[in-house]
Amino acid sequence: MGVPVTATLLPLFVKLDGRSAVVVGGGAMATLRVRQLVEAGARVKVIAPEIRDEVASLAAEAHRRPFREEDLDGAWLAVAAATPEVNRAVARAAEARRIFVNAVDDPGRATAYTGGVVRRGAVTVAISTGGRAPALTGLLREALDALLPARLQDWVTAAEVERPRWKRDAVALPERRPLLLRKLNQLYANQSPPQGEPRVPPGVVSLVGAGPGDAALLTRRAAERLRYADVVYYDALVHPEVLDLAPTAHRFFVGKRAGKPSLSQRTIEGLLVRAARRGLRVVRLKCGDPFVFGRGGEEALALTEAGVPFEVVPGVSAAIAGPGLAGIPVTHRGLAAGFAVVSGHGETSYGPILDGLSPGSLSVVVLMGLGERGRIAERLLARGWSSQTPAAIVLGASTAEAFTWRGLLGELGEASPPPGRSHLPGTIVIGAVAALSLASLDSLDSRPKVPDAVRDVARTA
């Protein structure tokens, strides 16, 4: 079943806009494929006994059940991203229906392969190793991305404008390429450089904090570094408007999200070193602040050991900005004289810190801990914290999708985001301050009532 891995492949760019695609599987790899298909305009149906909320929110249909052969009826493309046994069943059903199938991590059963993709406006460059060497595909994609100009869309526009003239004048095809080359050279001749002079010399790495999301919350120095950057390595959750501040830079995504494929930290550090040694102005763009759970310290040490000069451009940390934008001060006279910020990745990270806190003594702020919220609540309750302690979850702070859940510590484990928002970055706040609502004007009419006991303490302290 399926073509041999060594078979010669025919490269095609397939138009899936409005057409049906079926993804069997609901985990990390299914998430990646569903996102790619949705970006291509496909109408995606997902089938799996367990489906991530993010996958379900992106798909046109989500069926939480085992795969059936008839699920492929009417599909133009199938993706098998489940167990090997289920993937074999999908491949057989697709072959019987003459439907191309992309089998994740099973190239021998696939008849279609995804590749490393570089996009510049209307230009799409794809690289494939036939599923045999995905890591090499990624490296080749990075190399091409570094070579291709950032303003390649301008080339497309120039060629699009000239084409009708060539057809009108009956210009032969071999003669069109020299004409286009001269036109493109004119684009570079007329291109005006950014105003002012960069204050960072070539070969320097800037570790830049992108803040909680909104580009307007960047520091002036962060915006300046992006403006003059030659290359930007950015993390997950960095808002597109922030990247727009680096119009002439090559931009590479190197972010990490739980359960999803990502570059290792050592690989990222190697990229920074090599780019700086090539004489480029490098920006390492991180959400929040580089030194608040951003592994900026590790990258600074790696650059120091490699003899590469660097600077730190602090950012507004989501630990403070997230709650603040939801109207929650992490300290408040009479309620909390301090706060503790912990990483929610695992109990080995937050456990020892939470165990050392007296119940209610500080505000507790948890970053990257939505998946651990139940265990965090259980741990605090076991340490003597009251189940009536106010708690809040702030999702997508500073973005148009921002949402805040408010409740009690005893309810935190059962709190869930609204449909379609589970993918947003979240900050958990535990303590008396979580009951306050000092938000901006757009939330005054709907803000929850502050408990009387909390309000009285805040007024009289």
* Contact (CB, 8 A) for 148 and 119: no
Tell which residue, 399, 207, 398, has the closest CA to residue 289: 207
User: For position 165, what pLDDT does the model report?
Assistant: 87
Share above pLDDT 90 across residues of the chain, in percent, rounded to a whole number:
42
What confidence tens digit (pLDDT) does each residue in 410-441 have?
Answer: 999 898 888 877 778 889 999 999 998 765 44
Q: Which residues contact 118 (CB under 8 A, 6 or more apart)?
A: 124, 125, 126, 141, 144, 145, 148
Confidence of residue 148 (pLDDT cuts 50, 70, 90): confident
- Does 451 have pLDDT greater than 70? no
Confidence of residue 7 (pLDDT cuts 50, 70, 90): low
Our answer to whether residue 15 is catalytic in this structure is: no
323 vs 433: CA distance, rounded Å: 10
Q: Which residues pair with 187 in a beta bridge?
A: none
109 vs 4: CA distance, rounded Å: 8
CATH of 20-114, one of 3.40.50.720, 1.10.3720.10, 3.40.630.30, 2.60.40.10: 3.40.50.720
What confidence tens digit (pLDDT) does each residue in 341-362 have?
Answer: 998 888 888 889 999 999 989 9
Arithmetic mean of pLDDT, 445-458:
44
- Active-site option among 53, 154, 256, 260: 256
Our answer to whether residue 183 is catalytic in this structure is: no
- Active-site option among 106, 145, 235, 289: 235
What average pLDDT is seen over the chain? 84
257 vs 321, residue with greater confidence:
321
What confidence tens digit (pLDDT) does each residue in 9-52 have?
Answer: 888 888 999 999 999 999 888 888 898 899 889 999 999 999 98
278 vs 368: CA distance, rounded Å: 35
Class of domain 319-460: alpha beta
Neighbouring CB atoms inside 10 A of 265's CB total: 14
Confidence of residue 70 (pLDDT cuts 50, 70, 90): very high
What does 316-343 look like in DSSP terms, one character per residue?
--HHHHHHHHTT--S-BTTTBS-EEEEE
CATH number of 205-315: 3.40.1010.10
Question: Phi, psi at residue 124, to the nearest 5°?
Answer: -125, 125
